Structure 1
Amino acid sequence: MPKKVDRQKRRTQIADALMRVAAEQGLEAVSLRHVAAEAGVSAGMVQHYFRTKDEMMTFALDVVRERNQIRVTDAVTHLGTAPSPRDLLQTIIGTLLPLDEVTRADGRVALAFLAYTAVRPPASAALREETEQMVGFIAGLLPCPDPENAAAGLLALMEGLGVYLLGGQYTPEQARRTLDSHLDRLFAAAPAHTGETVTARPA
């Protein structure tokens, strides 16, 4: 009887191999052949699950996104049932920043994918939608006259800090201080927290 293969598990195995190649050797090293060698499977098997490099890259980013969501959910759960908007944002952004080895590895893949989509606009559609959702979520937490612009700025700050952390220009401590200082300014004129439950649903 033929052995039944878990298609999702196999695709994730290949995506993990892609992320290791991208994180260790750079995006230019990512190819079906190199990913197959890293995963310990044949190039034909990789092509069986991913017809093109774009498909493989998109799936790998989905894996990173899912891991980030799990990290954020776990971190927010520790805040209790009614976190303040500031604490919620600090926790979410702090969790998404590449502050340790595990998140740095995923961050390098996300950065590589961003560079990849810069020259392949069709591959960036998912990122555009995710960015719009994240801006909307953050805007709903900010006590500002123009929350959407403030949210876009905070998201840009997060991405910039991520790049500086990955490049070694900032230490984790510097990144945390910068984030805290920016949140302090955004919430300086905020009304007192009323205790209502805030549900975290970032993209």
Structure 2
Amino acid sequence: MPRQVDHEERRRRIAEAVCALIDEQGLEGVNLRDVATRAEVSMGAVQRCFRTKEEMLRFALGHIGRRVTERAHGRVVASPAQSAASMVGHVVGEVALLGDEHRAEARIWLAFLAAAAVDPALAAGLRTSYADLEGLLARLVAEASPALDARREARTLLALADGLTGHVLIGHRTAAEAADLLHAHLAGLWGTART
């Protein structure tokens, strides 16, 4: 009897391999042979899952975006008793990828961000991830402070998180300095009494 193949699991495994290669060598270092080797599947299996390298990269981008978004949503669900203002801080902290444990994701995300500047398909994938995160942040900001323009503040927080991610990766700021900047911005947003 032929073995059943979990195609979605295989696609996720391939996406993980793509992300690992991007982390080590950048987007230009991703090739079919290395992806197959890293994912421990045949080149034919990779080609059956993805018709082109571009399709594979788009899936890997969505995969990394979903991981970050799911973690951000998880922070909200895991602590429903927290104030909305606290949850905003936790979500933005997840998105900024400042922790050592998220450094590889930060490098991968920024590699995709740079490539998306000249690749409309990757740019569309990034816009989807940002829209999901912006929606979550806007809901939390509106709950925390109805007087604020929640959508504008959500956009600002995402831009700040991305900027801090880049600053930490290139060594312009330490992770602790970036976290302090993020907390200072949030303190200003809520007023010092709410920090």
Deviation at 1:122, TM superposition (A): 2.8
RMSD: 2.3
Query: 1:121: Cα distance to partner?
Result: 0.9
CA contact (8 A) 1:36 1:42 kept: yes
The number of equivalent residue pairs is 190
Is the contact between residue 97 and residue 162 of structure 1 (CA under 8 Å) also seen in structure 2?
yes
Contact 2:69 2:132 in 1 (8 A): no
TM-score by length of 1: 0.82
Higher helix share: 2
1:83-162 aligned at under 5 Å gives the runs 83-140=82-139, 141-142=141-142, 143=145, 144-162=147-165
Asked whether the equivalents of residues 21 and 35 of structure 1 are also in contact (C-alpha less than 8 Å), the reply is: yes
Q: Report the Cα offset of residue 99 of structure 1.
A: 2.7
The CA deviation at 1:132 is: 3.2
Distance in 1, matches of 2:73 and 2:119, equals: 31
Distance verdict in 2 for CA 1:129–1:74, change over 3 Å: closer
- 1:91/1:64 CA distance change after superposition, 3 Å: same
Check the 8 A contact 1:135/1:151 in 2, yes or no.
Answer: yes
Match of 2:25 in 1: 25
Give the structure 1 partner of residue 81 of structure 2: 82
Name the CA shift for 1:70/1:146 in 2 (closer, same or farther; >3 Å).
Answer: closer
1:171 equivalent in alignment to 2:188: no
Letter aligned with residue 160 of structure 1: G
Query: Is the 2:14–2:36 contact (alpha carbons within 8 Å) kept by the matching residues of 1?
Result: yes
Structure 1 unaligned spans of 5+? 193-203
Identity within the alignment, %: 39
Q: TM-score, normalised by structure 2?
A: 0.85
The 2-side partners of 1:121 and 1:184 are apart by 36
Separation in 1, partners of 2:192, 2:136: 20
Whether the 8 Å CA contact 2:61–2:112 is kept in 1: the answer is: yes
On the 8 A contact 2:21/2:30 being kept in 1, the answer is: yes
Shift of 1:12: 1.2
**Gap runs ≥5 in structure 2:** none
Structure 1 residues 26 and 129, CA gap change in structure 2 (3 angstroms):
closer
Q: 2:188 aligns with which of 171, 185, 188?
A: 185
